[in-house]
A and B are shown apart, each in its own frame.
Chain A
Amino acid sequence: MHNPISIATSLPPLPSPIARRTFLRRSGVSVGSMALGSLLARDARAQDASDLKGVIQPLHFAPRAKRVIWLYMAGGMSHLDTFDHKPKLAELDGQPMPESFTKGQQIAQLQGAKLNCFAPQHPFQQWGASGQEISAIWPELASRCADDMCIVRSLFTEAINHDPAHTFMNTGSMISGRPAMGSWLLYGLGADTQELPGFVVMVSTGNYGQKQPIAARQWHSGFLPSRFQGVEFRSTGDPVLYVRRPGGVDEGRQRDVVEAVAALNRLEEAETADPEIATRISQYEMAFRMQTSVPELMDVRNEPQHILDLYGSQPGDGSFASNCLLARRLAERGVRFIQLYHRDWDHHGAIKDHIAGSAAEVDRGAAALITDLKQRGMLDDTIVVFGSEFGRTPMAQGNGRDHHLAGFTMWLAGGGFKPGFNYGATDELGYHAVENRVSVHDLHATMLHQLGIDHMKFSVKFQGLDSRLTGVEPARIVTDLLV
């Protein structure tokens, strides 16, 4: 199985297993491979058990993880006030930033401004047996999860504004139109649930940042078919768009309509032998199930009190902690990729108070999620990722910090990442990632590796290229991070 997976997304489904075999036998000059066949089979026969399978059969490696929960601190969390301690920056507080750091570098809002050092705004201390250095704004995460975390302090990215930086972090390209990582995984690994979408996104909005916009492109399937798209679960209104039945239509009446549709579709199938109809029927079944399974998922009242206490959220409050609890429920139900955005981290001003506020919005929920996954034995095969689209400048912007791409921190937990470990470093002022640099593509490649995928062999033909999540440049699997 060394052939990359290649598909033509517009190809119609194949009508029968025999036809599929024939196609594969006859497609010598095309892109034939078994993976193509299995994808097409899924298109044609979504109701088959094979429906749930991804295109990578078998996996390239024995997987260490089955799913991903991405805690996405949207807006750009300062690494310098959270997980990357720079005492030297405190020494130089208020003094000019040495030009050797900033000359010729990309700068966002501080263009043309005087650049002065800005000390870390919160004290750091060592936590856990591993002695991880974490700032005081994370009391819960630091005290309970420091020994679970694999902190990477040498990330860098390519975009300095939110929108392209998010797009790069999620799709591996600043140019829109590529699939998000969740779509790639759903396509490659398939789903473990027929009740829920395999790629779910939830968004919470805090009170301390600039509430930067988040585009739905961040969970779009790009050039992959839209069934691989992330589905947003919402805390207000319909939990999934259009999942609520129309007024006056109760479950029984809706079932009657769906069954009539299925009966008529089957008559049409008998008449035409169009294989797409079988898929349609099964998608209606799934839609109908979602009308029950989604509200059931969102209703956390049946969680025991100690669990509700652990997360400390009120059901239905739309908080990050609520979403963390829902993420665990989604993970339990077989959802492949769960992404929780918290839109609160764009701290251009008043960072001391605001970052403490944002961290307080996130700290307990994130710690509870890790604790909860761990106590259920699920952390082992779940990759939890925590971080932003970029970091923030060591230089002051008033009493805040500007966007920063040259060095920032993310941490991972579970899924075969080394617990209680840290890796890479920025320079003494936290500007450039200098030691064991990790690109966004490296991060993606490493995560794919843990999920059993060789990123080089996982591609889709798009505009004539074997497009990969990890782009055209070489990416490396950061094996040092792995257990």
Chain B
Amino acid sequence: MTLRLSRAIGLGILAALSTSALAAEAPDAGRSQVEFNRDIRPLLSDRCFACHGPDKNTREADLRLDTEDGLRGEAGEGGAVTPGRPDDSELIRRIESDDPDERMPPPAFGKDLTPEERGLLRRWVEQGAEWQGHWAFQPIQRARPPEVSDADWSRHPIDRFVLAAIEQEGLRPSQLADPRTLVRRLSFDLTGLPPAPDVVERFASDPSEAAYERLVDELLASPHYGERMAMWWLDLVRYADSVGYHGDQYVSVSPYRDYVIRAFNRNMPFDEFTIEQLAGDLLPEPTLEQRVASGYNRLGMMSAEGGVQPKEYLSKYIAERVRNVSGAWLGVTLGCCECHDHKFDPFTAKDFYQFEAFFADIQEQGLYGGSDVTGRWGTMLPVPTAEQSRQQRELNEQMAAVQALLETPTEALAREQVAWESGLREWAVLRPEALESSGGATLTLLEDGSILASGDSPATDTYTLVVSAPSAAATALRLEALPDDSLPQKGPGRAGNGNFVLSELEVDWLPADGGEPQRIALENATATYEQTGAADANPYKKWAVAAAIDGDAQGPTWGWAVMEQVGRPNSAIFEIAAGTPLEPGQLRIVLKQNLDNPQHTLGRFRLSTTSAAKPVRAGDLPPADIEAILRVAGEARTEAQRNQLAAHYRSIAPSLLPQRQELARLEARKKALDAAITLTVVTERTEPRMIRVLKRGNWMDETGDVVEPAIPEWLGADPVPGDRRLTRLDLAQWIVSPRNPLTARATVNRLWKLLFGAGLSPKLDDLGAQGEWPSHPELLDALAAEFMDSGWDFKRLMKRIVMSRAYRQSSLAAAEQSEADPYNRWLSRQGRWRLEAEMVRDNALQVSGLMAPMVGGKSVHPYQPRGYWSYLNFPMREWQNGQGNELYRRGVYTHWQRQYLHPALLAFDAPGREECTADRPRSNTPLQALVLLNDPSYVEAARAFAQRALELGGDSDDARLAWLIREALAREPRPEETAVLLDLLNRHRQEYGGDSAAVDALLKIGDLPVPAALHRADLAAWISVTRAILNLHETITRN
């Protein structure tokens, strides 16, 4: 058994703080120096911490092996080990004991140490039991790259770290990759797309250093770079187009995705990117883009399920935020601490809830009741495209111009106004001579002729007024319902909400001669407003004024009401039927208010009549404030009143009708435009709610301590600025503070995976004690330091890595390499791996020529099998395939349904994005084969590819086959490959030549038209060829 204990480049955490302070120690392969962080800590963490670690609730024998004090002893007290003396060390005695009662870990724990591991621990104690803090939590070190002898590997600092490790392992680096492979690799890595064939040819003919650098710069400048990086980031921040819980309804948030793409394309510094997402809403006068970015906080799952207890779900949402921020930025697993202190890392439950408290100010609902219908999930913001913004500006300008015309007084208008005023109807107020409330309310006649109810407020009431009869020429009776400060909600009604219902209005003529009262017929009732709310059961489908003169034909309670207009004056007008005698004598006016919903009685009202010619309609009444001005004699009006009156006239002037119509047209267009603008979920700040430590994560427990936001102590929190409450902005700034070592390490480690296939520390989701010691700790730190020092410059970092010799190596593994380093941890070659799910799709679209390359926009719906959503409900839905370009967009734009992700993406390991995903698995399954063979997206791509080959690929079969291989694989075909494909082609020419039904069935798959000029059976045979090519392992492999 050989354990590699001599890894000189793994010197671990150096004490140096500046780049020049220390040179790496010379390699010394002969010494078996045990290193705590590399060799010992993982053992202790995995086998011991569960009972002797940070979680005080499960700690046994009061012994901690996760701290220096616990291991080596505090001042004056012995610890588990005695440095230099393994035989005097309790830890060694216990792990080596044969007595099952003494033996550690206990046999029942099921995690025995191997003999080698026991030997390692013994050796460590022998060598002095030196302790180190967990590497990932230590300050980032800036080690100088080691010197290496190979000139080719000396130019780039990354290469010096990598080669030193390769040599240390007794390996040899690989040759440079062939230029065509290299350009294809680079193109996939930086844009997620295969290279254009002319780019391949250009680089193949000039693979110089300068040409390579130019290629790198071009790809980093491509708008598709942002899409590729977004694929990575969106997994971390769990971006999706549906809410995830229960009915998994649609939520509009694609502007956030486009923000991410734009941020990467503009090379926004990572610190800014971080701050905008976590706290964009807290920045001073945030831009629209920063508010869109703040949508990050609300990308988690939400529920509209009726039986949800809001408090429970609020606790779910906020806990998930802690998991997401700690996973996406810090690369640690704070999530465990929702229920208990961490078993392996020094995080406590209190840390967890203090972290939660940062998000306590986010306005949200536990239950988004009704959102499944409205599509509104809390605060959402319209995010116009550039074109929509332009149209908005244009419309606003046009409307302003018309508005200006409408607001400009002219002499002609003044003349028209005079004529208008003189033609207005006059209303004569009816002042009652007797007043009575059947219910006992006090009715008082006010100076302006209106009547105010006060005192008792009976459930129902009938007011009876007697007035002297108006002129016999009266044509209409008007009832004004008026607000008054003494009434609930200022009236005009006496109901608690200020409303009233006039159930029935009756007018009788009481002849002066004492004759029999005669009923006066009222007709054509109109009102300035009729209530529409709460009218489902109302036979009029509104609270219609007509019901007040229907003789209660529909029932005694229905009548006129104005709920939505409470606090404002409104009028009802009743025409007096022709031929009704009115004088001499008096009128008795009865107002019945019968609604059983109590106290819907009139609070203040006034009656008047006019003698103007019919029709007399409420819609013709000037607004109440204008009427008030009109009642003032012309010369007595103030200037303000004159201006207001003139403005009102312009709003109705017949001469301005064309302008008003124009304005209405513009307003309608504006409304349609606004409705077409995509909404996005954003963060809105509110008063922070109380956050408690929940014992065992139980949301119903209210006994835990109340906590305030705080940065976890174990990471050397920045001092609290003053005594104010910390905010998300403080958190974001701490996350990207140079004193926080985790963010840069976690991020660089993940970017390394994008370019080499695995992180320098293979555990992308946990840099904590249960993570893995990095293969190249100094390189990881050097890159992290450079990333921070460069101002968090993504493109610079990506370029830095791809410019290295290490990146440009061949991915072919020589037998000795795969023998000695099967996982390629020492990077003596490049990686080979299957493309990411979205890129599998993108590649087929791109090589077939189908790709619709526009960047951004709403999510799209490529072909999906019918019925795939049949187990969704609330509401039931069916996926609707998109049209035109929407069918050919990149995978990053595919509608991301959390519960039912598009099956072609799912098959290739795309995650549902319900939680932070730092590391997608890469599997190789039969379902993937079924997708590539049978999914109409791929069959159509094969057809498009074949059609292009027939049009552009040359005149002979050989030329076309070569063209296809070059397009799909960026290389020349091998003769044996041509033979296989030619054989398939000819066989299927025969097959399809005699089977036109099959040809028709095949060619109708997909919306893309078939060019009429093509020979259909021949095309079908070529489709077999292109299907084979699109199904090749190599086609979906980045190598």
Contact = CB atoms under 8 A, between A and B. Distances in A.
Interface of A: 2-4, 8-12, 14-16, 18-20, 22-23, 25-26, 28-31, 43, 46, 104, 106-109, 111, 160-164, 175-177, 197, 203, 205, 210-217, 220, 223-227, 229, 231, 234, 236-238, 240-250, 252-254, 256-258, 260-261, 263-265, 267-268, 271-274, 276-277, 279-281, 283-284, 286-288, 290-291, 343, 402-403, 454, 456-457, 461-465, 472
A217 B899 contact: yes
Interface string B915-927: 1010111111111
A107 B700 CA distance: 11
A386 to B, nearest CB: 20
Given A14-B818, A16-B819, A247-B998, 19 more contacts: A8-B763, A11-B758, A12-B758, A163-B245, A210-B873, A213-B248, A215-B248, A215-B898, A217-B914, A226-B921, A226-B927, A237-B867, A243-B934, A246-B934, A260-B1025, A261-B1032, A283-B928, A287-B927, A472-B339
A257 B921 contact: no
16 contacts: A12-B832, A19-B818, A29-B773, A43-B924, A109-B307, A160-B309, A163-B305, A214-B871, A248-B1020, A250-B998, A257-B1027, A261-B1031, A263-B980, A454-B110, A463-B335, A465-B333
4 closest A-B pairs (Cβ-Cβ)?
A464-B770, A248-B1002, A108-B307, A247-B1001
A161 B305 CA distance: 8
Contact of A290 (B753, B831, B930): B930
B43 to A, nearest CB: 8
B588 interface: no
A276 B333 contact: no
Contacts of A212: 246, 873
A111 B871 contact: no
Contacts of A265: 1032-1034
A214 B110 CA distance: 37
Contacts of A104: 700
A109 B308 CA distance: 7
A22 B769 contact: no
A213 B872 contact: yes
B155 to A, nearest CB: 29
A8 B871 CA distance: 33
Given A10-B762, A19-B819, A213-B874, A225 B921 contact: yes
Interface stretch (B432-440, B590-598, B711-719, B902-910): B902-910
Contacts of A203: 871
Contact of A26 (B2, B42, B323, B768): B2
Given A28-B117, A237-B867, A242-B934, A287 B926 contact: yes
A211 B873 contact: yes
Contacts of A461: 763, 770
Given A234-B867, A253-B991, A267-B977, A246 B1033 contact: no
B981 interface: yes
Interface in B115-153: 116-117, 120
B819 A11 contact: no
B224 interface: no
A226 B907 contact: yes
Interface stretch (B65-73, B461-469, B495-503, B820-828): B820-828
B313 to A, nearest CB: 8
A12 B988 contact: no
B822 A22 contact: yes
Interface string B863-890: 0011110111110100000000000000
A99 to B, nearest CB: 16
A260 B246 contact: no
Nearest to A284: B929
A343 B339 CA distance: 32
Contacts of A11: 758, 762, 823
A287 B933 contact: yes
A248 B1001 contact: yes
B976 A267 contact: yes
B919 A106 contact: no
B900 A287 contact: no
A9 B764 CA distance: 11
Contacts of B1000: 248
B266 interface: no
B984 A276 contact: no
Contact of A465 (B112, B343, B931, B984): B343
B312 interface: yes
B354 to A, nearest CB: 20
Contact residues of B: prevailing secondary structure: loop
Interface residues of B, number: 143
Nearest to B339: A472
B924 A30 contact: no
Contacts of B772: 30
A223 B1004 CA distance: 39
Given A104-B700, A176-B915, A216-B900, A256 B987 contact: yes
Contacts of A236: 867
B865 A238 contact: yes
The listed residue with most B CB atoms (<10 A of its CB), out of A9, A403, A463, is A463
Nearest to B699: A106
A9 B110 CA distance: 22
Contacts of B857: none
B192 interface: no
Contact of B822 (A20, A217, A257): A20
Given A213-B248, A464-B763, A283 B926 contact: yes
A177 B927 contact: no
B1 interface: yes
B988 A256 contact: yes
B39 interface: yes
Given A213-B873, A286-B926, A242 B820 contact: no
B309 A15 contact: no
Given A160-B307, A161-B305, A241-B865, A29 B934 contact: no
Contact of A456 (B110, B912, B1005): B110
B168 to A, nearest CB: 14
Contacts of B917: 177
B351 interface: no
B903 A161 contact: no
A220 B912 contact: yes
A176 B320 CA distance: 11
B304 to A, nearest CB: 11
Given A242-B865, A287-B933, A10 B921 contact: yes
Contacts of A20: 822
B818 A242 contact: no
Nearest to A177: B915
A176 B917 CA distance: 11
Nearest to B333: A463
Contacts of B999: 248
B54 interface: no
B936 interface: yes
Given A248-B1000, A265-B1033, A28 B899 contact: no
Contact of B3 (A28, A220, A252, A286): A28
A212 B43 CA distance: 47
A241 B333 contact: no
Contacts of B903: 241-242
B919 to A, nearest CB: 5
B1 to A, nearest CB: 7
Interface in B698-729: 700
A43 B822 CA distance: 13
B292 to A, nearest CB: 26
B1008 to A, nearest CB: 14
Given A237-B867, A242-B927, A461-B770, A213 B933 contact: no
Given A8-B763, A248-B1020, A343-B871, A175 B915 contact: yes
A274 B812 CA distance: 8
Contacts of A291: 930
Contact of A268 (B906, B909, B1001, B1034): B1034
Contacts of A263: 980
B879 to A, nearest CB: 12
